[in-house]
Chains A and B, each alone.
Chain A
Amino acid sequence: MITDFLKDRFNQNPEKIAFIWNDNYFSFQWLLDSIENYKKEIIGNFDFNGKVISLEGQYSPHSVAMLLALIELNAIIAPITTQIESKLKEYHEISETEFIISMNLDKYEIIKTGNIAKNELITELRNLNNPGLLLFSSGTAGTIKAALHDFSKLFIKYHTPGKDFITLAFMLFDHIGGVDTLFYSISNASTVVNIDNRSPESICKAIEKYKIQVLPTTPTFLNLLIYSEEYKKYDLSSLKYITYGTEPMPESTLKKCLEIFNDVKFLQKYGTTEVGTLRSKSESQESLWVKIGGEGYQTRIIDGLLQIKAESAMMGYLNAPQPFTEDGWFITGDSVEVNGEYYRILGRKSELINVGGEKVYPAEVENSILEIDNISDVTVFGEKNPLMGNIVCAAITLIDKEIDQKEFIKTIKKQLAIKLEPYKIPVKIKIIDEVQYTERFKKGRKAI
């Protein structure tokens, strides 16, 4: 069975802790037992072979056990943690969900929707007789895309043994980063700590309490962590690695992180819903240049954009044009700079601001703005302008708000003039109070 390699590891380590959740500990033996129980209960009543199943509820150990049981039953599973009705409805429609399993701690309810999934890719996967994973991502245009993965391919890289660390589940199991953390950890019989609240405070508390060694996160969260100063209140000495990805890292944020966490190794990851998370190696700790790839992955640059060929790539989108070249390379849409074997990720080409023909990457401008004192966060975006096509705008959040804001905006522009070409300097700078990130701790450039 496709999960045999995982269960071998669980069986070798029955006493070890697989999950810590809500202050409760769940061993690998518990996980093995739960998978078997769920399977037995389901087999008597349903045939889930090749069925599209929406697995809904909290990211709990019970949900993970159910996920693994469903994989063994050869189902096509969409793990979903959102509770927003309108989103759920959309997910069900896109994926042609046939059954909904709604988890409530160890209890669950199965609802038959009456749908019959007829999507071509679903049929293809059924013919291969493999279990599948459906992940939803919201593209930059705001439309939801459903990516279908074949578990037999997705699992390949977890056959190679890795390191045993206690890891925080920062991303949930409905996100490729969360899926990667989960399977990497359990395939090494390591502990995953799930928490319900992902504020800097509760994350720092969990690191101290459970002696978490790996924190996979995003630059946006790290920035939030720095300015919350919560890290000062807790003992975070157990941390060995902080990995970050999903968006470009501002140099200034990385620099501050290295000062604060001087015993921690920072690793940049490159992951997408479509091809999974690539192993990567930074040129050095303080460098944003990385070598990405690893077993099963090849990369190339075409027209300044990164393309990836991956054994474990998704089969395709259920509801959008396929993002692959004819020879099977995934077109990431990320612009990169190249220096020998190393790449520097500049950002999404779709976020590029065209100012009178000159290209501006929001990340570069954000980076320069964050180097100025008294700024805790910034989002740079474009605004249509009849003279230049587009102009650069910035929304900033201040640390000390009791200052002459007009004068401060002038100061920002003056300081930027030293570092940036004139067309990159924001014409409009707005000071805002609100937080500037999405539920997945990425910058929400469309939100402002």
Chain B
Amino acid sequence: MANKEELYEIIYEALEDINSTLPKNKQIKNDPSEILFGSEGKLDSLGLVNLIVQLENLIDDKYDKSITIADEKAMSEHRSPFRSIDSLAEYAVTLLNTED
């Protein structure tokens, strides 16, 4: 079973690449409360897409499991899973532990 702590680390790893493309004042910190997307978010939709694809790849490497984070289900969640690092980790954990 995957846990949230592991997912934080994976998200931080994915963010290394994303940060290298972002300006200095938009750098995303390794902190679960960092806001990613939405109002006050540091990513635009393209940045978010890149982060998610990167994250999906890393999860595939680590857990040998292919999950789709951005799909209709994610878009229709009451609270956006893409809001913060914490919510993204939580959503990914749920997917990892339920999907086969």
Question: A residues engaging B (CB < 8 A)?
Answer: 355-356, 385-388, 391, 410, 413-414, 417, 422-423, 427-428
Contacts and interface: CB of A to CB of B under 8 A. Distances in A.
Contacts of A356: 45-46
Interface stretch (B4-12, B24-32, B70-78): B70-78
B44 to A, nearest CB: 8
Contacts of A417: 21
Given A385-B70, A386-B70, A386-B75, A391 B21 contact: no
22 contacts: A355-B46, A356-B45, A356-B46, A385-B49, A385-B70, A386-B71, A386-B72, A386-B74, A386-B75, A387-B48, A387-B75, A388-B45, A388-B46, A410-B17, A413-B17, A413-B21, A414-B20, A417-B21, A422-B46, A427-B49, A427-B50, A427-B53
Contacts of A391: 49, 53
Q: Is the interface of B mostly helix, strand, loop or mixed?
A: helix
Contacts of A410: 17
Contacts of A385: 49, 70
A427 B72 CA distance: 19
A358 B17 CA distance: 23
A423 B21 CA distance: 13
Contacts of A386: 70-72, 74-75
Contacts, number: 33
Interface in B13-40: 17, 20-21
A147 to B, nearest CB: 40
A427 B48 CA distance: 11
Given A388-B45, A388-B49, 16 more contacts: A385-B70, A386-B72, A386-B74, A386-B75, A387-B48, A387-B49, A387-B52, A387-B70, A387-B75, A388-B46, A391-B49, A391-B53, A410-B17, A413-B21, A422-B21, A428-B53
B3 to A, nearest CB: 25
Nearest to B52: A387
B78 to A, nearest CB: 17
B57 to A, nearest CB: 9
Contacts of B52: 387
Contacts of A428: 53
Residue of B20, B45, B46 ringed by the most chain A CB atoms within 10 A: B46
Contacts of A423: 46
B49 to A, nearest CB: 5
B17 to A, nearest CB: 6
B22 to A, nearest CB: 11
A328 to B, nearest CB: 43
Contacts of B70: 385-387
A422 B26 CA distance: 16
A356 B74 CA distance: 18
Nearest to A410: B17
Residue of B20, B53, B70, B74 ringed by the most chain A CB atoms within 10 A: B53
B72 A387 contact: no
Nearest to A421: B46
A391 B74 CA distance: 17
B29 to A, nearest CB: 21
A126 to B, nearest CB: 54
A423 B47 CA distance: 9
A427 B53 CA distance: 7
Nearest to B74: A386
